[in-house]
Each structure stands twice: as C-alpha cells, then as structure tokens.
Amino acid sequence: MFRISEFARLSRTSARMLRHYDELGLLKPSFVDPSSGYRFYSTAQLPTLQRILAFQDMGLSLFEIAQLLAQPLSNTALLQKLEAKVVDLERDLERRQMQLSAVRARLEGLRRSGDEGYEVVLRPQRAQLMLGRRLEFTDELDLGATFDALEALAAKHEARAFAPPLVVYHDETREVEAAIPLRFQIPDSSGVVVFTLPAESNVACVIHTGGYDALPNATTALLEWVDRNGYRAVGSLREVYLRFGSSTPVQVPTGFLASTSSELVTELQLPVAKGRD
C-alpha cells in the first residue's frame, strides 16, 4: 500500500490527478482510512492507471475512458471508439496543418512586402435568393441606376432581404451581374431575373474600405492569398457592397448607406477549392 504521492511518483502522475480520478470514479483507492481520509493505493492498481494514461495519450477524454472501463472490457466497443477517434484526429490534424500553412503564407507575405492591411478569410456560404440584371462589361455601365431599379422592384413586393447588394463578374461571358438579396420569389419582369446564388463550402473573402479606385489592390491581395495557400478559383469573383454610396434617394435597409467615400466598405469574394489543378 502506498500513500498518494508515493503512488503518484511510481506512476509519474500527480496527487491531484489521482484525487481527480477518484472523484470521477475512474480509479478509486484500494483503501481509504476512515478517520483521516487518507487514500491508499496498491501496485495492483497500476495496470488500470496505465490504461487510463494510455487512452488519454490517444486523445480520449476522461469521460470516454470511464465509459470504456465501466464495460467489462468489450473489444468491439473499444474498436469502435478508437476508429471514431482516428477520424477525429485526422480531421483535427488537417485543421492544424491548414492553420500552419496559413501562418506560413502570412509570414511569407509579411517578409516580402510588409503588411498590406488586407485580411483574407475562408468561410462557407449559404445559398441566397437574388434579384439580378446582367449587363455587358463596358466602361459606361451605370450600376447606380441598375441597383436603383432593382431596389424599387424589390421594395414594391416587400421582398428585400436584410443583406448587402453585390455584383458578380462573369468572366466567361464578359458580363457583370448586379443583384440584391430577396426574402422570397417574386414574379419575373423584363430585364431582371430571380436566381439562387449557390451555397459554397469555401469562399475566400477580403474586405476593402474606401474608394473604389483602390479596389484592385484588394483583388491582388485576394488572388495572391489564394495562390500562396494552395487554393484555386472554382467560381466567379463577387463584389459585395457592405456599405455604399448613392446619389439618389433609395430604399435600402438601414445601415448600408455611406455618406463619404472613405466610409465605403466592399467585400471581395471568390469561391475556391484546395489544389492547384
């Protein structure tokens, strides 16, 4: 019989850990002095403790270990648990590797050109019903008037969703599509289409503040990030107007309008996937 710290030393644990395992019912002392409350352990308990520590090394929680030890050592239960754990660990590992490569890519960028002030984030995106109009990509396109018309139509049906307007750059057809989010389907009208912006599992996003003349810098930063982090584009570039100006009085949800060009906020989005191919 060993006192708690002696036993802890033998098993390279700590008295606190042993008390914790006692409390959780994972490993009860083989004897407890009724008057002093002293815990006494026997070497016969070492194998159990070793199992606990081994499972812990494999990333199991004490709760999971307790479940395994409670059952009379069922091999199939153990197999299942460990198989599930492998999947967990693989997922986790992948996440960590992406973290690491993200930090490395960032360091690379910092060393080469200093901090450009653009943060690129990757996130999934849900599908969204939109009302849009396609325009040819010329220098004279009047996005303002287009958005005004779209907003007026949405307002008439009270179908405007609380989300910012955007344009999609369809490079293949050399078209620009201006669109605003809808809460529900509305009847077709001439020149406009109701469509669903599809859900994407990975969208690389960057936020640009200020006038549109500096937007190309943000685009460059976004494309560089995509390249440096081993992704490739799998969709069209989108410009989302989180805060925009308007010269005409227009019906948009509260909060989206900016009064000066320095208050403009635009998000560039690009659907991407892993791999260079």
Partner DNA sequence: TTGCTCCTCACGTCACGTGAGGTGGC
Token couple for 227: 């390249």
CB of 235 to a copy of itself, least distance (A): 18
The window from 1-9, 72-80, 99-107, 173-181 that contacts DNA (CB under 7 A) reads 1-9
DSSP type of residue 207: E
CB of 155 to a copy of itself, least distance (A): 19
Task: Find, among 132, 266, 135, 140, the residue nearest to 209 by Cα.
Answer: 266
Task: Find, among 165, 161, 172, the residue nearest to 149 by Cα.
Answer: 165
92 binds DNA (CB under 7 A): no
183 binds a copy of itself (CB under 8 A): no
199 binds a copy of itself (CB under 8 A): no
Q: Cite the DSSP H helix spans in 204-264.
A: 215-228
Check the CA dihedral 77-83-87-93 and report its sign: positive
Binding a copy of itself by CB under 8 A: which of 29, 164, 165, 271?
164
Placement of tokens 């690009």 in the chain = 270
For the chain, give me the number of helices (H) and strands (E)? 7, 12
Distances (CA, A) of 19 to 4, 24, 53, 70, 197: 9, 9, 15, 18, 56
163 binds DNA (CB under 7 A): no
138 binds DNA (CB under 7 A): no
15 binds DNA (CB under 7 A): yes
User: Judged by CB, which is closer to a copy of itself: 24, or 107?
Assistant: 107
CA distance 172 to 11: 67
Placement of tokens 């995509």 in the chain = 226
Query: Given the rule CB under 8 A, which residues bind a copy of itself?
Result: 1-2, 6, 9-10, 12, 43-44, 46-47, 50-51, 53-54, 57-59, 73, 75, 78-79, 82-83, 85-86, 89-90, 92-93, 96-97, 99-100, 102-104, 106-107, 110-111, 114-115, 117, 119-123, 162-164, 206-207, 209, 242-243, 254-255, 258, 263, 265, 267
